[in-house]
Chains A and B, each alone.
Chain A
Amino acid sequence: MLAVTFAPPVLHIPDGFLSVLVALSLWLVTIVVVIIALRRVNADLGERQVPMMGVLAAAIFAGQMLNFPVAGGTSGHLLGAALATILMGPWAAVIIMTCVIGIQGLIFQDGGLLAMGANIFNMGIVGVVITHFVYRSIRAAAGNRVWSIFVGGFLSAWLSVVLSALITGLELALSGTSPANVAIPAMGGVHILIGLGEALITVGALAFLYFTRPDLLKIGEAKPAGRGIWLAGLVMAIAVAVASPLASSHPDGLEWVAEQQGFLMHAQSAPYHIVPDYLFPGIENQALATILAGIVGVLVVFAVALGIAYARRNKNAASAASQTQH
């Protein structure tokens, strides 16, 4: 049996790691961008692209199974945002990555559901926009010479992964679930290496396609690319480049934002009572009350579980009995 591993879930934020405010804001941005992308893809590319995007999303997902050993038990993987952007243009790539990340979260729990908006934003929107900006710029600067496909592919793939990682770190810091001076450098540092794997695979795939079906590399270019996305890429790249070191050297600022996100998330400023004191009259010691309440809670859970398990067993036994009767 071949070992099948998927992309390391380092960039896929699970639920629980983003504050509701951050998660919902990024959902909102993602929904708006995806709806625009759907309109643009439908208008510019035509109905033929619908099955194509579905199959390419499946291909990118399946492509994430292809890995190569690097060192020390780690392996290089494909994330695919850069490849999708270079091959299909930015709008279709946003849709493709949305589908990939959506299925990963919904079916394989690779990334959360509430956090899915953020995951699509980080990998499917930032990754795509950065790739588009870097790749197009390098291609244009090189006068569309052949080598720029590979240089552009390498740099855009690497940068898209690194910047996606930095943004992920920023979001964690903003949510107050990881200190900025740890999350951002750690995320960035790890993905400077992971990004190399992405870049090498992307170039390998581009080379294969260039030598077998060079016409496929022209599809992405023929699409009306839009100066807007290019500009968005420029702005995004600068913003992340400025914000990440700033945030990680001044973590207090982000902490402050995180603390301001409403008392709901950060009620720890008021010491939390599991069961108010009056429930346990006579017990002054708060720690003891906590432990007692914890025991009560565990008992409640156990009672619920036992009750349901018992009911299910009786029911299944009854239905099995009635089946054998027939």
Chain B
Amino acid sequence: MHVHFLDPYHAGGSPIHRLDARVKLALTLAFIITTSLVPFGAWAAYILLFAIVLSVELLTDLGIAYFFKRAFLALPFALAALPLIFTVQGAPLATWSSGAGTFTISVEGVERVVSIALKSWLSMQMAIALAATTAFPQLLAAMRALRIPKLLVAIFGLMWRYLFVLADEALRLLRARAARSSASRDAQYKTGGAIVWRARVTGGMAGNLLLRSFERGDRIYDAMAARGYDGEARVLPMPALQAAQWLILGGGLAVCVLILLLALLLA
């Protein structure tokens, strides 16, 4: 049994897939920063940002539904922003009184909550596009290109490699627990045991997983040492960016700046 569903990468040959991972990572970050910088209620800018997101999604050949479905995962967090419709001062949209007091919903409050949810939704889709079209080894190379310390990138790589191995082990542990979890035929016994007991069983599984990982970590070090590992992270240099890729990078950054300027001018 292999945990394949963990990896969100979808192999493909679309223009977004073919774009250099360094350019993709940089532009994704630029897009998200731009989205964060656009003022609340700057609807024109949001529409432009959405047009960009939509274009990228269509260019990936993965189908828009894939992105929309995954992006809705972040929406529950928007609950944290919801109370702002009452607390932000502004033109009243609706007011009502109840036993607990008077509630006023302000236009500015609604504007802000909708803006926050939109920003989050747009940023999320761009991040999904990056993960869905970029194989992780290329993301690692892009991280190195962005000057993330090599040692940290090496640990990221090891983690990703063993994520699948350990997720398989965790699933086996869960299966073993499920196989032994049964209800007594005598209905008077409650199934599942007390919460503390359940937590202890789960904790034991986590401990088991950690123990195996410690042992595996030692064996991996042996395997690395056997091939001359000396504590330094070494990789082959990346090929230089081609002119076309530079152009896309520059163009993308320029669009981000333009959208920001537009948002400011209109404000």
List A residues at the B interface (Cβ < 8 Å): 2, 4, 9-10, 13-20, 23, 34-35, 38, 42, 46-48, 50-59, 61-63, 65-71, 76, 78, 83, 87, 95, 98-100, 102-103, 105-109, 112-114, 172, 176-179, 182-183, 186, 197, 200-209, 212-213, 216, 251, 255, 263-268, 270, 272-276, 290, 293-294, 297-298, 300-301, 304-305, 308-309, 312, 316
Contacts and interface: CB of A to CB of B under 8 A. Distances in A.
A128 B163 CA distance: 22
Nearest to A219: B214
A60 B139 CA distance: 21
A50 B123 contact: no
A275 B262 CA distance: 11
Given A109-B124, A112-B124, A312-B59, A251 B87 contact: yes
Interface stretch (B182-190, B215-223, B235-243): B215-223
Contact of A76 (B149, B162, B199): B199
Interface of B: 7-8, 28-29, 32-33, 35-37, 39-44, 47, 50-51, 54-55, 58-59, 61, 70, 73-74, 76-77, 80-81, 83-84, 87, 90, 108, 111-112, 116-124, 127-128, 130-131, 136, 139, 149, 151-152, 154-163, 165-167, 169-171, 173-175, 178, 192, 195-196, 198-214, 216-218, 220-221, 224, 229-231, 233, 264, 266-267
B21 to A, nearest CB: 12
A200 B173 CA distance: 18
Contacts of B218: 48, 52
Given A113-B127, A268-B39, A35 B204 contact: no
B203 A205 contact: yes
A276 B160 CA distance: 50
Nearest 4 A/B pairs, CB to CB: A204-B203, A54-B158, A208-B207, A47-B231
A50 B83 contact: no
A23 B37 CA distance: 11
A300 B156 contact: no
Contacts of B74: 9, 14, 109
Contacts of A176: 112
B115 to A, nearest CB: 8
Given A2-B175, A76-B199, A66 B209 contact: yes
B221 A103 contact: no
A226 B159 CA distance: 27
A297 B118 CA distance: 15
Given A65-B174, A109-B74, A112-B124, 17 more contacts: A47-B231, A56-B210, A57-B159, A59-B210, A66-B170, A66-B173, A99-B159, A103-B156, A178-B81, A201-B199, A208-B206, A209-B210, A251-B87, A266-B39, A272-B42, A304-B51, A308-B58
